[in-house]
Structure 1
Amino acid sequence: MKGKVTALLTANYDIVKIEKGTIVTPKGFSAAGLHSGVKKQRNDLGAIFCNVPASVASVYTLNKMQAAPLKVTKESIAKEKKIQAIVVNSGNANACTGKQGLEDAYAMRKAAAKKFNIPEHYAAVASTGVIGLQMPMDKILSGISQLNPEQTNESAEQFNEAIITTDLVTKSTCYQAQINGRPVTIAGSAKGSGMIKPNMATMLGFVTTDAAIESDILQLALKEVTDQTFNRITVDGDTSTNDMVTVMASGQAENELLHPSHPEWQVFVQLLRQTCEDLAKMIARDGEGATKLIEVEVKGALNDEDAGKIAKAVVGSPLVKTAVYGTDANWGRIIAAVGYSEAVIDPESIHMFVGPIQMLRDSQPLPFSEEEATAYLENHEVKFTIDLQIGEGYGKAWGCDLTYDYVRINASYRS
């Protein structure tokens, strides 16, 4: 294990963050990224490759206008529930492109299979960028032929750059824990900063692990974790046509096959959850034009589902988001979002905090220092805590402030 590490104590086991870990840190994986010419500059085509057919799980956007690459990737996974390579382009979403777009997605898959000498159904494809433009397939196919994945952090970062669009920064994370006495590693890379709403997963996310686990079981874990992480972020309330999160497992950690009855199953689930939570928060923090990350923590709800509803309602409120941008401690906007969240509440029993400052006790307003509240809201990360005091339900959600720059960026997205 290379690089500085940070230990996270979770339950009765240690999870270790590998500070310099990347999507190629888990055994069996390599990556590549290059500039094919789809975008004017910066890398725009990348690949993740596994040296063996990997177990796979994937979740997709709930937008009914799903892009062609999602349809092709679903078909690949359904064939044998194994994949070995994912090829991704940015700059063009290949969405709402009709029959030609579907043919182009198949052509990408075929070219990837040829490049990596694997069956076509072992290749998956993904795209992100402008909707409604036909793919520049001459550039895409030429670029695929030049992809040469390597097991280096430099190649992983080239991939990270290849998948971003309006993102200001690349996003990756990596964790490790002992399972059956063997180090099991999970790493992830994601893109996303706009057209973000917690409604399935988010934008594009790619996770690699060397854990030994069957695809159906991996799918169960991903669904659980997605609901607690990627489904808990919002930037602007829009759900993309191309959202997809895919996990590949090489099995090369050589642990005993994981399943819900395995004594260390929760270690694996927590590894996956922490990886996905990191990526989700990075996406929220990097929201288009954003200056602040907002975290909403809800306690004492009737159940976890209601806690999640409230957290997402608050973090998604345009009025809350603009108040955070303006450092305005207008807590009435927060409590209003709690009320319209459709969760069960007792309107007379709510505690609420803006950072360390309590604003409500049993739904009664408390005196507070405007200067202290404004100073807190000037931080780059702000947290609201809501305690409903009616049950044991718990949940979090993440988002960002809404700024003038969000309008500027999206008013000229295609230029």
Structure 2
Amino acid sequence: MAEQSKQLVRDKVIMLADGHVTTPAGFSAGGVHCGIRKRKLDLGWVRSEIPATTAGVYTTNTFQAAPLKVTQESISKENKIQALIVNSGVANACTGEQGLADAYQMRRLAAQAMDVSEDHTAVASTGLIGELLPMEKIEWGIQQINQADNNEVSRFESAILTTDTREKGIGVQVEVDGKTVSIGGAAKGSGMIHPNMATMLSFITTDAEIEAGALSTLLKDITNTSFNMITVDGDTSTNDMVLVMANGQAGNNQLKPGHPDWDVFKEGLTMVCEELAKEIARDGEGATKLVEVQVNGAVSEEAARAISKSVISSNLVKTAIHGADANWGRIITAIGYSGQQLNPDKVSIALGSIPVVESGMPVVFDEEQAKDYLLEDSITIYVEMGDGDGKATAWGCDLSYEYVRINASYRT
């Protein structure tokens, strides 16, 4: 009954064909090439017509970059953000006092250009670690914010990318109090992606009215089942953040747990985060396939998460999938070293619809059929533990020769 009820809620979320961070009412966005990168757009911004209730989740890396500190300080004042400025190409991480001063200057310049309070301005950076921001270039770029030609959402989605191969945008709509509420998002992420937030930025907007504490708790919960369930290469970075800005322009009554439409809004935000997370995994550096690992029957949800992340993080599993090799031994090994309570005699594994292990024992299967399946661009590995009700899904990608080429020459 619980699954049926959840599906009924999910059916109330409308996925938009062309959704973006500017889909919700009252948001604008744009981007410009200011010269940090050779040719690509490298400075982007999002602005709300009014200060928006904002929540954030940040990298767990001890070396937290200067922009994250400035953004957290801004949000801590009133839980409100009205404008966001993002640069790509230089991470402004491990840059000491000068880096922090540059992040504050970036905030001040952006606030002036977009006519908002400094305390209502967030800053984000992504790119090379250990280099100072070229502030003259950034200042010039910020001066271009009010030029109409630069204010297109596609320019923002492009400006935040590094080694990504495509822009990542999404939008959904739900009904709250009889009002149409929109939720939009954009993200970047391709390499240094691992559970617990890695080199990824995600910016989500909504015109819903929502209580600040409820939004913060909801974002943390959803992050644990979306952005924290993806991996590309096992590295965790210094700059990652997810921000959600809610400006209340839809005119609904304030959302919080207990509101009749809380579950519908939660499902809409979950869908946005999950789809962005999957797009990051699909666009992993050198990736040719999106890989999904579904674990069911674990002793707990926490155990299921750990097992699914152990499988999706295994380089041996990822290389086998890249080579279309149905080497289930690598999968069962990754399950075994996940550190979770399990009974090896109950574990079953399937590659798509093809069973390869049942109750801990190998199953005879058609190798050519399995190879054909693993040559597809989306692969699902099903794991049944047989120990309880815990379930979780993780996403990642294959590990290719191209990944090595990209990262061997990242600085050059």
Match of 2:368 among 368, 371, 383: 371
Cα separation, 2, equivalents of 1:413 and 1:148? 33
1:299 Cα shift?
A: 0.6
8 Å contact 1:188–1:206 — kept in the other structure?
yes
Gap runs ≥5 in structure 1: 1-7
User: Normalization by structure 2: what TM-score?
Assistant: 0.96
Alignment correspondent of 1:411:
408
1:148 Cα shift?
A: 2.8
- Aligned to 1:313, what secondary structure does the other structure show? helix
Cα separation, 1, equivalents of 2:19 and 2:101? 36
Deviations 1:256-285 (A, max 9, x none): 111111121111111111000000000000
Cα separation, 1, equivalents of 2:310 and 2:149? 41
1:362 Cα shift?
A: 1.2
Deviations 1:283-327 (A, max 9, x none): 000000011110000011111111111110000000000000010
Alignment correspondent of 1:22:
20
Cα separation, 2, equivalents of 1:25 and 1:64? 35
- Aligned to 1:14, what secondary structure does the other structure show? coil
- Aligned to 2:291, what secondary structure does the other structure show? strand
Alignment correspondent of 1:94:
92
Q: Does 1:259 align with 2:290?
A: no
8 Å contact 1:201–1:245 — kept in the other structure?
no
- Aligned to 1:390, what secondary structure does the other structure show? coil
1:328 Cα shift?
A: 0.4
Deviations 1:75-107 (A, max 9, x none): 000011101000000000001111110000000
Cα separation, 2, equivalents of 1:248 and 1:402? 34
Question: In the alignment, residue 267 of structure 2 is paired with which amino acid?
Answer: Q
Cα separation, 2, equivalents of 1:18 and 1:151? 25
8 Å contact 2:67–2:100 — kept in the other structure?
yes
C-alpha spacing 1:201/1:26, structure 2 compared with 1 (3 Å) = farther
C-alpha spacing 1:409/1:206, structure 2 compared with 1 (3 Å) = same
Match of 2:194 among 172, 197, 222: 197
Cα separation, 1, equivalents of 2:387 and 2:192? 34
Match of 2:132 among 131, 134, 139: 134
Cα RMSD after superposing both structures: 1.5
Residues 114-125 of structure 1: pairs in structure 2 closer than 5 A? 114-125=112-123
1:200 Cα shift?
A: 3.6
Q: Does 1:244 align with 2:250?
A: no
Residues 40-189 of structure 1: pairs in structure 2 closer than 5 A? 40-148=38-146, 155-189=152-186
- Aligned to 1:234, what secondary structure does the other structure show? coil
Greater Cα shift, 62-71 or 343-352: 343-352
Structure 1 residue ranges (4+ consecutive) displaced by more than 4 angstroms after TM superposition: 149-152
Deviations 1:365-396 (A, max 9, x none): 11001111001000001010001111111100
Q: Does 1:285 align with 2:282?
A: yes
Deviations 1:8-47 (A, max 9, x none): 9543751101111211010110001010011001110010
Greater Cα shift, 14-23 or 46-55: 14-23
C-alpha spacing 1:12/1:165, structure 2 compared with 1 (3 Å) = closer
Cα separation, 1, equivalents of 2:341 and 2:233? 25
Question: In the alignment, residue 125 of structure 1 is paired with which amino acid?
Answer: V
C-alpha spacing 1:132/1:12, structure 2 compared with 1 (3 Å) = closer
Cα separation, 1, equivalents of 2:226 and 2:96? 32
Match of 2:377 among 376, 380, 400: 380
8 Å contact 2:198–2:238 — kept in the other structure?
no
Cα separation, 2, equivalents of 1:253 and 1:199? 32
Greater Cα shift, 139-148 or 160-169: 139-148
- Aligned to 1:126, what secondary structure does the other structure show? strand
1:414 Cα shift?
A: 1.2
Alignment correspondent of 1:333:
330
8 Å contact 2:32–2:155 — kept in the other structure?
yes
Gap runs ≥5 in structure 2: 1-5
8 Å contact 1:327–1:378 — kept in the other structure?
yes
8 Å contact 1:174–1:275 — kept in the other structure?
yes
8 Å contact 2:68–2:241 — kept in the other structure?
yes
Cα separation, 1, equivalents of 2:235 and 2:143? 34
- Aligned to 1:11, what secondary structure does the other structure show? helix
8 Å contact 1:232–1:396 — kept in the other structure?
yes
Cα separation, 2, equivalents of 1:188 and 1:41? 25
Question: In the alignment, residue 237 of structure 1 is paired with which amino acid?
Answer: G
8 Å contact 2:53–2:81 — kept in the other structure?
yes
C-alpha spacing 1:134/1:201, structure 2 compared with 1 (3 Å) = closer
Question: In the alignment, residue 107 of structure 1 is paired with which amino acid?
Answer: Q
Match of 2:228 among 205, 219, 231: 231
Cα separation, 1, equivalents of 2:240 and 2:51? 24
Cα separation, 1, equivalents of 2:147 and 2:217? 29
Question: In the alignment, residue 264 of structure 2 is paired with which amino acid?
Answer: V
Q: Does 1:33 align with 2:21?
A: no
1:151 Cα shift?
A: 12
Cα separation, 2, equivalents of 1:157 and 1:177? 23
Alignment correspondent of 1:209:
206
Residues 259-408 of structure 1: pairs in structure 2 closer than 5 A? 259-408=256-405
C-alpha spacing 1:33/1:134, structure 2 compared with 1 (3 Å) = same
Question: In the alignment, residue 253 of structure 1 is paired with which amino acid?
Answer: A
